[in-house]
Structure 1
């Protein structure tokens, strides 16, 4: 059931029906509900490991020797994770309470990312007004982008992150920005 749930969430996002998950798991709804009485319990079970890796990225960045590179690498890796998994994109952009363990992981991540921002700002190479709230806004924007761009999500996400980083750092830091989407890619996104 967990394998099916993870696959369905990754493809369709966290608001997919539990009936669809049960169908993909080749089981009945009653069996799914017996193991996971609420949507939140199933989400927590599926995504706790992902959130632990997300925390580890931020904690590693908080200890890195180069705070600006650490901020760049942490944000790039986090958004790349979102771009390949719609469910994770939704979860990272949401404040939906799931379980005490998930909330503990969110708090742990926030503390680590606050340290990353503080250290990066301290170099003078990142805007003085940069804060972890800026990352929250990026994650929300990236989640929306992931849902709209589907197969183009990794490339579109990489460009969004690069543009965000370019706006966050001073002129002394060079950020390579991937090419803009083509007209056909834009049409595909706009018209499905």
Structure 2
């Protein structure tokens, strides 16, 4: 059999494999969005119409599947962050970034979990989290340097908001799906420079924050 004949013979298998790959990603998006990052992989495989062994052949770890499933939402979110940095008013850029962040949380329970936790066993998720943290620092520092945001806000304060917003979304997603916006804007008022008062407790250090995000992680 010639090389071209071998390639033609393999083509249907490759198309079938790609279809299984795509079905797994679609099923994972639905399940992670509905049930969070700890959703059953067996259920995802069943929803995709494949055996669990097939899932693991395509995605050796849960985190591999998470990254593939979240890629479009992550890209959309990161592009929104870039727009925030381009806004003329640093405070409006900060507000835009935070609303974009919380809206992404509200629309997907799995993405909410992903933002709230750290997965140190995965270099790719660590890279993504570091990128998000650098963006937060950039929009926040810009607003602080312009005198619009209080100077004592730290990364841990933003992550605290992410955590509290996550709990609010869990409680209100059915009865009042936009309640998170009121909470966000109340908190943003507290972040304004002109509202600043001394705070009796220092923010968590970067090391404490990282450890706390790892402790929330249940993914193997």
TM-score under structure 2 length normalisation: 0.71
Query: Cα RMSD over matched residues?
Result: 1.9
Indicate the residue corresponding to 2:140 in structure 1. 117
Q: CA deviation at 1:119?
A: 1.0
What is the CA–CA distance in structure 2 between the aligned matches of 1:14 and 1:61, rounded to whole Å? 28
Secondary structure of the 2:38 match is coil
- The answer to whether residue 91 in structure 2 is matched with residue 68 in structure 1 is yes
- The answer to whether residue 109 in structure 2 is matched with residue 54 in structure 1 is no
> 2:115·2:129 contact (CA, 8 Å) conserved in 1?
no
Using the TM superposition, name which of 82-91 and 28-37 deviates more: 28-37
Q: CA deviation at 1:138?
A: 1.0
Aligned pair count reads 172
What is the CA–CA distance in structure 2 between the aligned matches of 1:21 and 1:98, rounded to whole Å? 22
Matches within 5 A, 1:1-192: 1-97=24-120, 99-152=122-175, 154-171=177-194
What is the CA–CA distance in structure 2 between the aligned matches of 1:92 and 1:152, rounded to whole Å? 23
- In structure 2, relative to structure 1, the CA distance for the partners of 1:33 and 1:5 (3 Å cut) is same
Indicate the residue corresponding to 2:18 in structure 1. none
TM-score under structure 1 length normalisation: 0.81
Q: CA deviation at 1:170?
A: 3.9
Unmatched segments (≥5 aa) in structure 2: 1-23, 196-220
Q: Based on CA coordinates, which of the two structures has the bigger radius of gyration? A: 2
Q: CA deviation at 1:98?
A: 6.2
Unmatched segments (≥5 aa) in structure 1: 173-192
> 2:151·2:193 contact (CA, 8 Å) conserved in 1?
no
